[in-house]
């Protein structure tokens, strides 16, 4: 059996959540949490918690924060043998949440990722086979994405991360086995406003027509829309009380990729991913302390999904 690999950012997450409605320009009383994050790192940790031992490739700083993060990633089960250490300051992400735990603003300092080059990932990419799965996040440069897309023999999964960064992967959509944009990213890339069930399916078809083999678009309260050459579907599920939306997309893609790697069909993989994301939003942490294959499977089986299928 092959291996699951992740190439992407690793950084420190600092989240500040106000206990009352935020007053701009003032000091707001709240709670501050400190954890390790980064889209790629979050995906890799979720994969590890879901029972896999992912190979994770990133750039780590040699400062105390970077060393702590490196040791933590190893402790949770990541293989870091292809990662790089440098004397630059570790990547840091700062987010401010309101009293409803919705993000108000965020600042990221990820200059260390400028050191991420095709040469950084070449040893891993050259080792991959058709049995492997490679997950990419678009925090890395277009040069790295291009190299992976053109040279990897593994199946590739990708999260576009944001509307701005999504443009990096546009030229390589036909190289993707699995693509997971959210509503805003799908709208930006396709030019289709997703405000009806039909428009969601039209967006899925847009990506399939451009060569993506499997597409799942996350639509928030509207569930997900997805499909491949066999069929299109819409899926809705129950929603839990939200404590922190940060990291939900990362756990969704991790579970989606894990399920596909394990041989599940796209619909069942999407159900598994929805259950994983729900565990994440219930936690104050970017990666839920409750994340496990057992807990995700239990939640998925307890839910009654609304399913619609289309040709």
Task: Give whole-number Cα distances, 211 to 132, 183, 264, 310, in Å.
Answer: 20, 19, 21, 19
Percent above pLDDT 90 for the chain: 73
Rounded Cα distance between 181 and 122, Å, is: 26
**Quick one: average pLDDT of 113-126?**
92
> Which residues, including other chains, have CB under 8 Å from residue 36's CB and lie 6 or more apart?
10, 11, 12, 13, 45, 68, 69, 72, 73, 286
Cβ(135)–Cβ(43) below 8 Å: yes
- Is pLDDT of 246 > 80? no
For position 59, what pLDDT does the model report? 92
For position 156, what pLDDT does the model report? 97
Rounded Cα distance between 311 and 301, Å, is: 26
Give the pLDDT confidence of 27-60 residue by residue, as tens digits: 999 999 878 988 999 999 999 999 999 999 999 9
> Which residues, including other chains, have CB under 8 Å from residue 16's CB and lie 6 or more apart?
30, 31, 32, 94, 95, 96, 97
Rounded to two decimals, what is the model's pTM? Answer: 0.89
Rounded Cα distance between 78 and 58, Å, is: 11
Question: Mean pLDDT score of the chain, rounded to an integer?
Answer: 92
Give the pLDDT confidence of 77-87 residue by residue, as tens digits: 999 999 999 98
Q: What is the CATH number of the domain that holds 290?
A: 3.40.1190.20
Long-range contact set of residues 184-189: C-beta below 8 Å, sequence gap at least 24: 185/160, 185/161, 186/217, 188/163, 189/160, 189/163
Total domains present in the chain: 1
Phi-psi region of 32 (alpha: psi -120 to 50; beta: other; left: phi over 0): beta
**Quick one: average pLDDT of 203-214?**
97
Name the token pair of 43.
Answer: 């995906």
Residues of the domain holding 137:
4-310
Cβ(91)–Cβ(61) below 8 Å: yes
Confidence bin at 15 (pLDDT 50/70/90) = confident
């Amino acid at each position: 059996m092959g291996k699951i690999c992740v190439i992407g950012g690793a950084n420190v997450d600092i989240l500040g959540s106000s206990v009352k409605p935020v007053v701009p320009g003032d000091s707001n009383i709240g709670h501050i949490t400190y954890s390790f994050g980064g889209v790629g790192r979050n995906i890799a940790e979720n994969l590890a918690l879901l029972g896999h031992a992912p190979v994770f490739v990133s750039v780590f700083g040699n400062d105390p924060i970077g060393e702590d993060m490196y040791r933590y990633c190893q402790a949770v089960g990541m293989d870091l043998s292809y990662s790089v250490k440098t004397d630059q300051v570790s990547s840091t992400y700062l987010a401010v949440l309101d009293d409803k735990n919705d993000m108000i603003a965020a600042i990221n300092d990820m200059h260390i990722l400028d050191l991420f080059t095709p040469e950084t990932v070449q040893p891993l990419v050259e080792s991959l086979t058709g049995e492997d799965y490679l997950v990419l996040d678009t925090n890395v440069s277009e040069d790295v994405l291009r190299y992976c897309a053109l040279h990897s023999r593994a199946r590739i999964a990708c999260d576009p991360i944001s509307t701005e960064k999504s443009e990096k992967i546009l030229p390589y959509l036909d190289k993707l086995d699995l693509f997971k944009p959210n509503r805003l990213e799908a709208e930006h890339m396709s030019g289709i406003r997703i405000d009806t069930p039909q428009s969601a399916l039209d967006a899925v078809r847009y990506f399939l027509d451009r060569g993506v083999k499997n597409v799942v678009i996350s639509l928030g309260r509207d569930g997900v829309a997805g499909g491949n050459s066999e069929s299109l579907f819409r899926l809705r599920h129950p929603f839990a009380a939200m404590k922190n939306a940060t990291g939900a997309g990362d756990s969704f893609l991790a579970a989606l990729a894990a399920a596909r790697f394990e041989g599940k069909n796209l619909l069942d993989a999407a159900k598994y991913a929805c259950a994983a994301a729900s565990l994440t939003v219930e936690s104050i942490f970017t990666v839920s302390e409750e994340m496990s294959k057992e807990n995700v499977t239990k939640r998925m089986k307890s839910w009654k999904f609304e399913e619609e299928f289309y040709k």
